Amino acid sequence: MNNEHFGVKIAVYPGSFDPVTNGHLDIIRRSAKVFDKLVVAVLNNFNKNPLFSVDERVELLKQVTADLPNVEIDSFRDLLVNYMKQKNAHLIVRGLRAVSDFEYELQMASTNQKLDENIETFFMTSTPKYSYLSSSIVKEIARFHGPVVDLVPDEVDRAMQVKYAKE
């Protein structure tokens, strides 16, 4: 790989973030210390039935990362490698909670590099206190009005309470 691509280190952290959890936020904060610019990119995944719209997820991410000047929040609906080209980025950040995540993430990293040999994926392990945490678990707890205050930022907790109060 040609290192000239790594002048300004722009990384993309893609995901559905439905909703953003404290685990996601931990990866965002730690990545923001490593890269010059971090683009948190909300995937508009047509195969999922999300709790929050793409616009709502983008807005929640903007709220919880407002104190991070080198973090940009965006969304995309294309192949990740095409989006990366639009952002002039060559680095992907992916969080790993457990060994079980690695097989899928390795497959995705290999596929992305096959599509564009200039793409590199950086794996960041979760902080142990968030290693069990997923958006699915958070939604399941919140759906039954269980406490998620320690699992998500306050802004997300409030937004979930509003969503689930309508059910």
Active site residues: 24, 48, 97, 135
For residue 94, say whether it is annotated as part of any ligand binding site.
yes
| Rounded Cα distance, 42 and 15, in Å | 5
Using DSSP's 3-state secondary structure scheme, residue 14 falls into: strand
Q: Would you say 48 is a known binding-site residue?
A: yes
Q: Which two tokens stand for residue 105?
A: 């993430």
- Please check if 100 is assigned to a binding site: no
The answer on whether 136 is annotated among ligand-binding residues is: yes
Distance between CA 148 and CA 21 in Å, rounded? 10
Alpha-carbon distance of 20 to 139, in angstroms, equals 11
Residue 79 known to bind ligand: no
Residue 13 known to bind ligand: no
Annotated binding site: 16-17, 24, 48, 80, 94-97, 105, 130-136
Annotated binding site for ATP: 16-17, 24, 95-97, 105, 130-136
Annotated binding site for substrate: 16, 48, 80, 94
